[in-house]
Amino acid sequence: MHINISRVSKITSLLWLLTLSPMTAHAKYTPDQVKAVYLYRIATFVQWENEAQMDSINICVQDNEKVNTILSKLTQDKLIRNKPLKVVSSDCDVLYISQEQNLNRIESVPTNTVTIGGMESFTENGGAIELVEHKGKIRPKVNLDNIKGYQLSSNFLRVAEVVGGQQ
């Protein structure tokens, strides 16, 4: 098996940056790469109410093949709290939507599914977390009113723009 050390190093560096501050979409990383890393990192900051019954943590990226491919490579053989992380097309614990025409999917997901969107106004349309680029930076926006069946870590909320809820 051949491991590309340079690629592993880049991914590790990108993960490190995400844990410390909002991401800047430098030319070094594409917005799709940054969003894929955010999806992975966000899953580590979620505590599901039914987590004890979960066999794995499933992330669905159904409408963005680039993010899906990057995330699949990034999460291969990864665990979150001893549960395997899987990129799948159904039974989603985390659902990423990148295209406006798919916003209607939010209405049919179980309440304990974390909905993340890659478009403006996603959180205003029922989504929990929005990842959009603004002035070269990708920063999460969280709507607390759209969170049910899980909690987000305060460490994650510190780096996000938070709306809704009892602020």
The C-alpha atoms of residue 167 and residue 53 are separated, in whole angstroms, by 31
C-beta separation of 65 from 82 below 8 A: no
Q: Is the pLDDT of residue 122 over 90?
A: yes
C-beta separation of 75 from 87 below 8 A: yes
Give the pLDDT confidence score for residue 29 in this predicted structure.
Answer: 86
The Cβ of residue 82 has, within 10 Å, a number of other Cβ atoms equal to 5
* C-alpha closest to that of 72 among 97, 89, 93: 89
**Long-range pairs of 105-113 with CB within 8 A, sequence gap ≥ 24:** 105/62, 110/149, 111/148, 111/149, 112/48, 112/49, 112/50, 112/148, 112/149, 112/150, 113/149
Share of the chain above pLDDT 70, in %: 83
User: H/E element holding 116?
Assistant: strand 114-117
Give the pLDDT confidence score for residue 41 in this predicted structure.
Answer: 96
Please tell me the pTM assigned to this model. 0.82
How deeply is 112 buried, as exposed, middle or buried, from its count of CB atoms within 10 A (0-12, 13-18, 19+)? middle
* C-alpha closest to that of 146 among 103, 102, 116, 105: 116
Q: What radius of gyration do the chain's Cα atoms show?
A: 15
**Separate counts of helices (H) and strands (E) for the chain:** 4, 11
Q: Is the pLDDT of residue 16 over 90?
A: no
pLDDT per residue over 28-77, tens digit each? Answer: 889 999 999 999 999 999 999 999 999 999 999 989 999 999 999 999 99
Residue 124's Cα: distance from chain center in Å? 17
pLDDT per residue over 145-156, tens digit each? Answer: 999 999 999 999
The C-alpha atoms of residue 54 and residue 27 are separated, in whole angstroms, by 38
Mean pLDDT of the chain: 86
pLDDT per residue over 61-120, tens digit each? Answer: 989 999 999 999 999 999 999 999 999 999 999 999 999 999 999 999 999 999 999 999
Give the pLDDT confidence score for residue 165 in this predicted structure.
Answer: 83
